[in-house]
């Protein structure tokens, strides 16, 4: 019999009541895939919090091991790109939603879903970045492709004290942008300034219904909140600017008008981290290796053990988590 490992399993009964249990599994319990990995580190993202608390329909196959990203070492592979001993990262691809995820000692996935761990980065470092940080890098790359360079003006980051926001601020500041951080936790001002934010604004300024056009305040934005916040960010984006939208912490709706688009030529850039093609992922992780200050990354991350995952999931949904949570397996 193969060696057992601990896993968190989310289940549903006949009345669709969700339960979360820690169980012992073996390799035979894993789903199909051509690469088996020893999970060395994972993280708790907002999406993972929703999956474990059941506050949104993230899990779509039952029972399931949640956890949308991990880093670890290949144990066995029949995929041509990977061999035993390779250090790999996985983000997205429906893992932790429809395919057994990260909250287990082992994972079995398709080799096409993996990227190589950048040299000089540990599994723990990679999960301090995690899906949130990788998404932040995709947002920065999208703004760059749209010509939003530091000389164009400041960039606003919403949900600034969260995982995406924290990493986005650190990357933008290192690249020379002036960063305006919007947060509901103004007590985190010193933390946000330590990451490189020049100005802090209270999220209340952006959470009321937006005017069709507001005063032009920034050249670009990275928004993880959605709803009225994104509508306000768009209405205050300067002529020819762009906003990268990657999250819905404030809601899935977008109560805006066409005014920013047709009167100021503003672009709304959609960012999807789950199904992004491999070449874009590889570029993002390569950039993370060069454009994210290691000391700032360390200050963004808090480390917990496997037993702390469930509580961290509840805390992140309640808005009590600052930065990134790394789980050492």
Q: Of residues 2 and 122, which shows the higher confidence score? A: 122
Flag whether 144 is in a domain: yes
Q: Do residues 254 and 323 share a domain?
A: no
User: CA–CA separation, 107 vs 30, rounded Å?
Assistant: 7
Say if 292 falls within a structural domain. Answer: no
Predicted local distance difference test score (pLDDT) of residue 86: 98
**Averaged pLDDT score across all residues of the chain:** 96
3-state helix, strand, coil in the chain (%, to 5): 35, 30, 40
**238/209 Cα distance (integer angstroms):** 19
Instruction: Kindly state whether residues 100 and 149 are assigned to the same domain.
Output: no
Does the residue 275 lie in any domain?
no
pLDDT at residue number 186: 85
40, part of any domain: yes
Q: Are residues 55 and 168 in the same domain?
A: no
Range of the domain at 210: 129-270
CATH number, domain containing residue 112: 3.90.180.10
Looking at the structure, tell me whether residues 94 and 202 fall in a common domain: no
Residue 295 lies in a domain: no
In a domain, 65, yes or no: yes
Percent of the chain residues topping a pLDDT of 90: 94
103 with 136, same domain? no
Structure tokens at 273: 């981290």
pLDDT of residue 2: 72
What is the largest distance, in Å, between two alpha-carbon atoms of the chain? 67
Q: What is the pTM of this model?
A: 0.92
Does residue 37 sit in the same domain as residue 73? Answer: yes
Task: Please compute the mean of the pLDDT values over residues 175-201 and round it to a whole number.
Answer: 96
Same domain, 259 and 153: yes
Number of domains in the chain: 2
For residues 229 and 251, state if they share a domain: yes
In this structure, is residue 79 part of a structural domain? Answer: yes
């Amino acid at each position: 019999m193969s060696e057992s490992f601990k896993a968190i399993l989310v289940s549903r009964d006949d009345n669709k009541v969700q339960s979360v249990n820690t169980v012992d599994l073996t390799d035979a319990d894993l789903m199909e895939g051509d690469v088996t990995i020893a999970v060395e580190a994972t993280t708790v993202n907002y999406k993972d919090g929703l999956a474990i608390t059941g506050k949104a329909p993230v899990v779509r196959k039952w029972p399931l091991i949640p956890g949308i990203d991990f880093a670890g070492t290949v144990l066995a592979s029949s995929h041509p790109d990977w061999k035993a001993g390779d250090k790999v990262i996985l983000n997205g691809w429906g893992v932790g939603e429809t395919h057994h995820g990260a909250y287990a000692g082992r994972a079995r996935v398709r080799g096409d879903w993996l990227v190589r761990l950048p040299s000089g980065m540990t599994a723990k470092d990679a999960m301090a970045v995690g899906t949130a940080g990788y998404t932040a890098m995709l947002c920065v790359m999208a703004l760059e492709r749209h010509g939003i360079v530091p000389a164009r003006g400041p960039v606003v980051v919403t949900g600034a004290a969260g995982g995406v926001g924290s990493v986005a601020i650190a990357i933008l500041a290192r690249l020379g942008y002036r960063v305006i951080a919007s947060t509901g936790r103004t007590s985190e001002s010193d933390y946000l300034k330590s990451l490189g934010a020049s100005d802090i604004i209270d999220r209340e300024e952006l959470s009321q219904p937006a005017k069709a056009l507001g005063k032009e305040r920034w050249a670009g934005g990275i928004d993880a909140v959605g709803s009225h916040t994104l509508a306000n960010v768009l209405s205050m984006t300067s002529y020819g600017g762009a906003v990268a939208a990657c999250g819905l912490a404030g809601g899935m709706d977008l109560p805006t008008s066409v005014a920013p688009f047709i009167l100021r030529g503003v672009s709304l850039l959609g960012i999807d981290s789950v199904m992004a093609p491999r070449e874009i992922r590889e570029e993002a992780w390569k950039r993370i290796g060069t454009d994210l200050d290691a000391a700032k990354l360390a200050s963004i991350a808090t480390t917990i053990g496997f037993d702390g995952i469930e509580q961290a999931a509840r805390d992140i949904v309640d808005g009590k988590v600052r930065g990134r949570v790394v789980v050492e397996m």
